[in-house]
Chain A
Amino acid sequence: MIAAHFPILQVVVPLMAAPFVVLFRNGTVAWFISFAVSWFALAISVALLGQVMDAGEISYAIGDWAPPWGIEYRVDKINAFVLLIVSAIAAIVATFARASVEKEIPEDKQVLFYSAFLLCLTGLLGITITGDAFNIFVFLEISSLSSYALIAMGRDRRALTAAFQYLVMGTIGATFILIGIGLIYMMTGTLNIADMAVRIEAVSTSPTTVAAAAFIFVGVGLKLALFPLHLWLPNAYTFAPSMVSAFLAATATKVSVYVMLRFMFTVFGKFFTFEFLPESPILIFLASLAILTASTVAIFQNNLKRMLAYSSVAQIGYMVFGIAMVNVSGLTAGILHLFNHALMKGGLFMALGCIAYRLGATSIEQVAGAGRRMPLTMFAFVIGGLSLIGVPLTAGFVSKWYLLLGAMEKGWWPAAVIVLVGSLLAVVYVWRVVEAAYFRPSPDGATTVEEAPLSMLIPTWVLIGANVYFGIHTDLSVSVAKQAAVQLLGLAP
């Protein structure tokens, strides 16, 4: 009986928990509630994915108002997969958060910090699960506003300017999405995504629809940090508290990629997006630039968090690259990379969180000699780095493999070269860290082993271990991603 209400519980439980947490005025209680709620959300999303894989799409009418008049939550293969990514990362990061937040956030702010974290989780889950276009905007703003607040809690004063810059660019992006949704509403008279998809065909050659598509793709492009709209991302991830960097890097941009997929394939349809509009060459061009320039810039960064942030911009390039191929292998690679990149970046940022906890900073000078002082953390970083490069037996290899397959099917040899050059650049920036950590003496000559607390190490290793697990046992992640790709392309399964 309760299973029928899973879609709404997925969003409402974290939403209710956010103000509830504030009532206690105690950091430990607030952490425990966030921890419990995140794991509960994960349990629900696992159950939802199971239901969808067995029985097909779930449509949930909120308050029993039948769609398209009422708001509908609709779960299909692609968003059930994204829900799983978001809630799994949230659960692991919430476990990790306790020690990290204790060290980095002043005690009187911790309760509000967890409250903002829960709101951000609500927003991300809401964007993913909803079947209503205007709801996407509202949840997008819930998650964005709370993530601006989370980023501003970084210790460095530059966190404030980074959060402000993100606020300005994020609001412009969200307002563009709002304009786009308004224009579609003007043409179709509906806000329900499934209904929109049917009605938009009749008006798909109208200039208003084209303008709507342009506004939405630019707006979402800002949110997902598509090159050259990525300017807010490096500073935001660099100066945010460690736990926030890990959470946002692994989830926020992924959800934006999902929104882009949803509008491209479900609302506008692949013929409008890729044949009527020249989206494919534009996206390929921007994604290639993202992969090459952001990976190159990452090599010259002294702060490791900033290095990983630029690497994120490049990795988003890979996802967009796969999507722009508009074939099953390419799209599978894009969706699979959502999952795999969440695993690797989550793990890497958490490893940096451990380093920041013990060594105080994450610059390359600070990390020198850390291979001997924090062997487990640095080893986790190395494995995460290998996955980032795409070495066989790690998750990163699987998504790059499908990306290359997609490029081969299209006969795009230059695309395959760009993917390989991107991987080589990743080798360079990961090697810089390995070289500093293992082959250089630590700055103050200390050699004693000082590992991060177990409550931080275990979650880090769970994600890093998942990189290896999903690099070897590819059935689960690949089959879900492939089915989602087939569903988006509208092919018979």
Chain B
Amino acid sequence: MKRHGTTSAERMRLLAWLAVLGVILLCPLRSHAYAGPGAGFAVLSSFWTLFVAFLYSVYAFFVWPFRQLFRLLRRRKAYGKAQIKRAVILGFDGMDPELTERFIAEGRLPNLAKLRDEGAFRKLRTTYPAISPVAWSTFMTGVNPGKHNIYDFLARDLSNYLPYLSSAEIKGPKRSLKIGKYTVPLGGPRIRGMRRGTPFWHWLGEAGIFCSVIRVPVTFPPEKFPGVLLSGMCVPDLKGSQGTFCLCTTRTSGDKFREGGVRVPVERDGSVFRSYVPGPEDPLTPGSGDELRVSFEINLDKTGTQARFIVDSQTFTLKVGDYSEWIPVKFKAGVGFSAHGICRFYLKELSSEVEVYVTPVNIDPGKPDLPISHPVTYSIYLAKLFGPYATLGLAEDTWALNEHVLDDDAFLAQCYANHDDRERMLFDALEKTQQGLCACVFDTTDRVQHMFWRYLDEDHPAARDVPRDQRPTVIQDLYARMDELIGRVMKQIDDKTLLMIVSDHGFKSFARCVNLNAWLHQNGYLALKSGKTESGDWFDDVDWSRTRAYTMGLNGLYLNLKGREREGIIEAGPDADELKDELRRKLDGLVDPASGRVGITGVFDCDAVYAGPYVDNAPDLIVGYGDGFRASWDSVMGKVTSLIFEDNLKAWSGDHCIDPRLVPGVLFCNRKIADEKPAIVDVAPTVLKLFGLALPGYLDGKPWSVATSITP
């Protein structure tokens, strides 16, 4: 019987090898100096590494005094008056104060309880609307949306009423060369950030305070500043979308996914199955719809329980229900053009039918084709240190769960794999930032609550068939897990470090959908073309010449204003004001006839809630839905249906895009805070003040009174 470890035969063999090696090494010849390319490479590579390190050391040695002097001069501005040595800000997207209090009371969150008791716990007023890109933009800039220009994930193109991503614009290269039917791009894509305002870490960096910023939303494209930053929410996938998964299947189906995914056929060839991962548009034939692809092959094993995948030159084996690691894929478009991505494969089914889910193809952080960090080498550094990681802004594939392509467990596995990567990044940043700012945002809290609120809600339509005693405690577990993470962070910090836990908004149930376009249509504000009772996506059958108001996105309501919208009919001024008042009066308090509950608890005039140079880009009204309600899936996409209210049957069952007064975020701090009603807009000025910096005059937020020391 073979013992655990090495057998005596193996030991003898090893000893014999060592003896031979020893003799050779003890009787050196010139030929021994080189024993093949392997040894040669090893020697050269390690020598090269040490040589580079040595060269850098020499450079650093000579430059160091000057840098230190320069740093000292700059840092005197900051640390000279600083009340803290380091600020650690952990963002938990969507962490809800009511749930947090409830779980603390149940004893599930000991570390947050400790922070509350020894420091501070407050509800954190959020932005109008309470949407992540809006709130996090306010968090980092310290200004209202009228000054940072982000009002939703989407903004509308006034020339055609179509949506575009509000945070960044990606265009093709400036110059290209046309050769026959091909267009050769001369240069890389052009990326323009749409968020305005200056993140507070820029001010800190300028003052010589080092900052590590990880995955804070709306930081794509990354802006240059003295520190390191990894972009978060709004980073696109390699297709340029906000996440397009792929279901490779042998089943034939004409159904398209509502959004977020594509079906790709799997061709059977004996015991081998072949399919492909769709990639970005072919840059040599822009506008043709031709996409680049990476083919892959699936070989079934004899037992039929697992399959061997061959993707490019990589092979890996998966069992049903297994995810692969991140697999690098290279999309080639002719000589010299290629796009580098990474994706994970999930084997869904292996029976008479074969189904494989492929995550959206993320930008490869080790070989980023688009800048996803500042400096560019930071994403590479993290990839080298921890291996490939999700770079897509919305990395957790909520659409795949919504469309039943993934089940609950597969979705959770994906979420927590991403979360584990983020934790590793955070702890590395904590180690690297012993002085300065370390800010890291975790998205898991938002995605998991969105998708699993149905099990928390007493009577959610999406979980009515799941008995209450069989409902998983996903959200309870989520909060406990975050608490445990906070506990580990607390162990890493000293009493000169400010620890702040913030969320951009809270959460509520999303049980009922409100199609505001349907309401506008039925109440005469939105007109359809003759003979139509419903419209397709993005106002396909809307008669703009008779439409006075419309909605798209999550909370914005727009007037069809003359001179602004392409086919506007409402005169700006008194007419517009009157229409806004009328809409506010009618919508505020709108009751869902089925439940008798109020579906809209507030409608807010943009002139009242925003101020700044970009107010003209804002929706005219912000609709605040009531607890349990949200804009319907169709309404968000500019579709007019016949029903105003309907059940939400999707897994996406919790939401926050409602009346901002109902979904404040959380604020925990390891120091006492005097202010009773802090807001997310105050975070930036508070941190600047704690580091002793003067506050820019245009900030809307007010710094809190924070205790100078930790209460024992």
A pairs with B: no
- Which residue numbers of B lie inside 8 Å of A, CB to CB? none
Residues of A within 8 A of B (CB): none
